[in-house]
Amino acid sequence: MLIRVMYVSQASGGITTTVTSSILETAKAHNAVNGITGVLCQGQDIFIQVLEGERKALNRLLARIFRDSRHKEIEIVLLQEIQDRMFPLWAMAHVNISLDEPMIKLNHPEFDPFTANGAQLYEILVDLLQQSSPIN
Protein backbone atom coordinates (compact mmCIF):
# COMPACT_ATOMS: atom_id res chain seq x y z
CA MET A 1 0.00 0.00 0.00
CA LEU A 2 1.46 3.28 -1.16
CA ILE A 3 0.92 6.54 0.68
CA ARG A 4 1.87 10.15 0.15
CA VAL A 5 2.61 12.44 3.08
CA MET A 6 3.29 16.13 3.00
CA TYR A 7 4.45 18.16 5.97
CA VAL A 8 5.67 21.67 6.64
CA SER A 9 8.21 22.60 9.28
CA GLN A 10 10.39 25.40 10.43
CA ALA A 11 14.18 25.23 10.37
CA SER A 12 15.61 25.40 13.90
CA GLY A 13 18.56 27.54 12.91
CA GLY A 14 19.07 29.20 9.57
CA ILE A 15 18.97 26.90 6.59
CA THR A 16 22.55 26.75 5.39
CA THR A 17 23.96 24.91 2.41
CA THR A 18 25.72 22.55 4.79
CA VAL A 19 22.47 21.61 6.52
CA THR A 20 20.72 21.11 3.21
CA SER A 21 23.50 19.04 1.67
CA SER A 22 23.68 16.84 4.71
CA ILE A 23 19.90 16.25 4.72
CA LEU A 24 19.84 15.54 1.00
CA GLU A 25 22.79 13.19 1.15
CA THR A 26 21.16 11.05 3.86
CA ALA A 27 17.78 11.29 2.18
CA LYS A 28 18.99 10.10 -1.20
CA ALA A 29 20.92 7.15 0.19
CA HIS A 30 18.24 6.04 2.65
CA ASN A 31 15.26 6.66 0.40
CA ALA A 32 16.71 4.78 -2.55
CA VAL A 33 17.16 1.68 -0.39
CA ASN A 34 13.69 1.97 1.13
CA GLY A 35 11.67 2.71 -2.00
CA ILE A 36 10.87 6.24 -0.91
CA THR A 37 10.61 9.12 -3.36
CA GLY A 38 9.75 12.78 -3.00
CA VAL A 39 10.75 16.36 -3.02
CA LEU A 40 12.09 18.74 -0.42
CA CYS A 41 11.32 22.43 -0.86
CA GLN A 42 12.83 25.07 1.28
CA GLY A 43 12.69 28.79 1.54
CA GLN A 44 12.66 31.45 4.24
CA ASP A 45 13.46 28.92 6.97
CA ILE A 46 10.54 26.71 6.04
CA PHE A 47 10.67 23.15 4.77
CA ILE A 48 7.88 21.59 2.75
CA GLN A 49 8.46 17.94 2.00
CA VAL A 50 6.42 15.41 0.08
CA LEU A 51 7.28 11.77 0.65
CA GLU A 52 5.85 8.76 -1.16
CA GLY A 53 6.36 5.10 -0.47
CA GLU A 54 5.11 1.94 1.21
CA ARG A 55 3.18 2.83 4.33
CA LYS A 56 5.42 0.96 6.75
CA ALA A 57 8.69 2.31 5.37
CA LEU A 58 7.30 5.82 5.25
CA ASN A 59 6.06 5.72 8.83
CA ARG A 60 9.49 4.59 10.00
CA LEU A 61 11.12 7.44 8.13
CA LEU A 62 8.66 9.98 9.49
CA ALA A 63 9.46 8.91 13.04
CA ARG A 64 13.12 9.71 12.35
CA ILE A 65 12.39 12.97 10.61
CA PHE A 66 10.16 14.05 13.51
CA ARG A 67 13.02 13.51 15.95
CA ASP A 68 15.43 15.58 13.88
CA SER A 69 16.43 18.71 15.80
CA ARG A 70 17.29 20.59 12.61
CA HIS A 71 13.63 21.53 12.32
CA LYS A 72 10.60 22.13 14.55
CA GLU A 73 6.85 22.89 14.44
CA ILE A 74 6.45 19.92 12.11
CA GLU A 75 2.89 19.68 10.84
CA ILE A 76 1.52 16.98 8.59
CA VAL A 77 -0.75 18.74 6.14
CA LEU A 78 -1.67 15.88 3.82
CA LEU A 79 -1.78 12.10 4.05
CA GLN A 80 -3.35 9.99 1.33
CA GLU A 81 -3.28 6.53 -0.17
CA ILE A 82 -2.12 6.68 -3.75
CA GLN A 83 -2.09 4.35 -6.75
CA ASP A 84 0.80 6.06 -8.52
CA ARG A 85 3.70 8.15 -7.42
CA MET A 86 3.94 11.77 -8.42
CA PHE A 87 7.73 11.69 -8.15
CA PRO A 88 8.67 8.15 -9.25
CA LEU A 89 12.20 9.07 -10.29
CA TRP A 90 13.35 11.21 -7.42
CA ALA A 91 14.78 9.61 -4.29
CA MET A 92 14.74 13.20 -3.09
CA ALA A 93 14.57 16.22 -5.36
CA HIS A 94 15.32 19.65 -4.02
CA VAL A 95 13.70 22.98 -4.83
CA ASN A 96 14.41 26.39 -3.42
CA ILE A 97 11.28 28.45 -3.08
CA SER A 98 10.79 32.06 -2.26
CA LEU A 99 7.49 33.02 -0.72
CA ASP A 100 7.93 36.40 -2.44
CA GLU A 101 8.18 34.77 -5.83
CA PRO A 102 5.90 36.52 -8.35
CA MET A 103 4.28 33.22 -9.37
CA ILE A 104 3.26 32.47 -5.80
CA LYS A 105 2.08 35.99 -5.14
CA LEU A 106 0.13 36.12 -8.40
CA ASN A 107 -1.44 32.68 -8.49
CA HIS A 108 -1.66 32.04 -4.77
CA PRO A 109 -1.86 35.39 -2.97
CA GLU A 110 -3.12 33.74 0.20
CA PHE A 111 -0.17 31.34 0.38
CA ASP A 112 0.81 30.49 3.92
CA PRO A 113 2.14 26.95 4.30
CA PHE A 114 1.02 26.68 7.91
CA THR A 115 -2.61 27.56 7.25
CA ALA A 116 -3.21 26.50 3.63
CA ASN A 117 -5.23 23.33 3.30
CA GLY A 118 -3.29 20.24 2.25
CA ALA A 119 -4.79 19.81 -1.21
CA GLN A 120 -4.15 23.49 -1.97
CA LEU A 121 -0.60 23.28 -0.78
CA TYR A 122 0.04 20.19 -2.85
CA GLU A 123 -1.27 21.98 -5.96
CA ILE A 124 0.96 24.96 -5.29
CA LEU A 125 3.91 22.64 -4.95
CA VAL A 126 3.18 20.88 -8.22
CA ASP A 127 2.84 24.32 -9.86
CA LEU A 128 6.18 25.34 -8.44
CA LEU A 129 7.87 22.18 -9.58
CA GLN A 130 6.68 22.71 -13.12
CA GLN A 131 8.28 26.14 -13.15
CA SER A 132 11.53 25.36 -11.45
CA SER A 133 14.33 22.94 -12.13
CA PRO A 134 14.52 20.56 -9.23
CA ILE A 135 17.91 19.08 -8.56
CA ASN A 136 17.75 15.34 -8.08
Kindly list the residues in this chain that would bind ligand FMN in the complex (CB under 6 A).
Answer: 23, 26-27, 30-31, 40, 47, 49, 51, 61, 64-65, 68, 70-71, 92
Q: How far is the CB of 51 from ligand FMN (least distance, A)?
A: 6
CB closer to ligand FMN out of 67 and 106:
67
Q: How far is the CB of 12 from ligand FMN (least distance, A)?
A: 9
- Burial status of residue 123 (CB atoms within 10 A of its CB: 0-12, 13-18, 19 or more): middle
CB closer to ligand FMN out of 27 and 124:
27
**Residue 97: CB partners within 8 Å, gap ≥ 6?**
41, 42, 43, 48, 104, 128, 132
Q: How far is the CB of 6 from ligand FMN (least distance, A)?
A: 12
Residue 52: strand pairing partners: 4, 37
In angstroms, how far is CA 124 from the centroid of its own chain? 12
Cα separation of 99 and 112, whole Å? 9
CB closer to ligand FMN out of 37 and 108:
37
CB closer to ligand FMN out of 26 and 105:
26
